[in-house]
Structure 1
Amino acid sequence: MNDSGNSGYGRKPFQRSRSHFTDRITADGRDGWPVEAGRYRLVVSRACPWASRALISRRLLGLEHALSLAVADPLQDDRSWRFTLDPDGRDPVLGIRYLSEAYDRREPGHPGGVSVPAIVDVPSGRLVTNDFQRITLDLATEWTALHRDGAPDLYPERRREEIDEVMAGVYEDVNNGVYKAGFATEQEKYEAACAGVFRRLELLAARLEGQRYLVGGTLTEADIRLFTTLVRFDAAYHGHFKCNRWKLTENPVLWAYARDLFQTPGFGDTVDFDHIKRHYYQVHTGINPTQVVPLGPDSSGWSAPHHREILGGRPFGDGTPPGPVPSAEAVPAAGRP
């Protein structure tokens, strides 16, 4: 995600930048990037919903030992995502101050912005991919030799057609829909995008009323992609992006579903509400020129009972939950409910 780059300001509707670097890291290395433990570094911002997908997938699949993690500052400047959270303002593995340095090593003067998630080749310091739509699918299907024992199948082959169909609607109307509403500069375009967000959310609520997960009886990639928008909804999209027909907490089905996922190991333990709020309210100065960050909403409700277990289903199928979060990757207290 590069919110500050292609923000949709002006009279044109919001258009999300396409990933420019779409090489894939695969088991057979057909793009020149073979799956290899310790070779690559995943760069994320905990503020970014697209990067959060990769954080969750990595946790659920137990890839922490194989794919190291760099967390960028939630606030960007004109030189891109920066590593000011690390000592001396440099990523300790890549030795760079800005993610743009890895992009430039791959292609000097490349078109487009600098986005996360990004995977960087550690030996060369070059960007491999910023294809946010593909990265998590490949973690689930190409990195299987390095998955932990008991890792769930997040993209089961027999259900891929249904998963893809659900994810397409979620992406168009929810994941991207909130941005189209938030960055709209014309009333008509805002109203159309906002209506699309809530129309899709209502369809998803109806789907989830009688089943615990979006597709089948276990967690899949579809749940990850919906969760990363839902967990930001009241904190950012309801007020900041004017998606305010109702709050997530006012929809009984989606609020219970979101809490169920949040309380599942691998989901809520990757969420940093402090990073989320500071990024949206301080980076999008065209929407919030004062950069004042709101005190609310109260996030304590995320730990309340959800009672979704009565619908059945097993989050990890025949597998098991991931282990504890590595201490170096724990979300600081300021970002937790």
Structure 2
Amino acid sequence: MELSRMSRRRALSLIGGSAVAAALPGGVVRAQGAPLNLGYQTSTWGAVGMVAEAEKLFEKTRAKVVFHKFDSGRTIRDAMVAGRIDLGSIGAAPFVVGAAKGNMAALGTVAYAGGTLAIVASKKSGIKTVADLKGKKIASQLGSETDHVFQNKIAPAFGLKKGDFEVVNVKFHDHVSALAGGSVDAFAGVEPYPAIADVEGLGVVVTDYSKYDIVPLLLAVQRPVLEKRSDELVPFLKGWLAAVKMFKDDRKRVTGIVWNFYKSQGWKVPEEVISKALARMDVTPTYVPELKNYLTNMAQTLVNKGQIASVPDWNKVLDQQILKRASA
């Protein structure tokens, strides 16, 4: 897989926010009728957004939506907190931080994605299990759900504690090149990058996250948008649900759309890699019964580390009304 310099610059300009609408102060809501700004990730976690954009599904439900692409849920959360975008698909860790600040809620889930995350080791490293990461350098995007689960659940499960390994802050889309260049021994990454490393013969999957975490991906919304533009969120969510339905009814078309997205960004990746990566993601918009306890445990961990002040009230944060209206 190769990423040309021109494509890399283009991707970084998108990720860095040059494609994002001009910032509004946090908490300021755009006028009713103005387009809703949606951020989605350029990993497979953004696949629902990719499908909705390619198929013009929001136009079909008369929702005005502008799409913005980001490298991670953390950068989406930061753009939401800054008021640059209204909605975004983000992992639980950045979502909990955003909810704790009081200005973020959720319309539903995007997916449960434990199978899409993996610890990948260089074939030259001799690493066979997570325990072998002791004394090694691991690329991980700090502040992401992927990193949070790795450092707080998977590493401790193998007897590893802080200081036993070195975490190098590397963005997801640079994990494969970091592994190929030898600057790290392994990475904690999200699809399609583990699959790419495997197909290229650069790395081996030590473990995926499915044994350790459900890894919920949330469809987050700025609370002021939820409170003041709820009627506009209904056609938005109808369009989103149409994309979700395509994952159930036409997986081949979905795979082609996501594959074309990566080709447009300069990646030369077999369609089979994308197909396998998407198969590891359970795309569903509804909250599972254990989600509140999951988020509470994560929030308490962040409270104990001093990263947030208190555990949010999930009954207020996890909205269910817009989804009910859109599904009617």
TM-score band w.r.t. shorter chain: 0.3 to 0.5
* TM-score, normalised with respect to structure 1: 0.39
Structure with the higher fraction of residues in strand conformation: 2
Q: Which fold has the larger relative contact order, with Cα–Cα distance below 8 Å and residues 6 or more apart in sequence?
A: 2
* TM-score, normalised with respect to structure 2: 0.40
Structure with the higher fraction of residues in helix conformation: 2
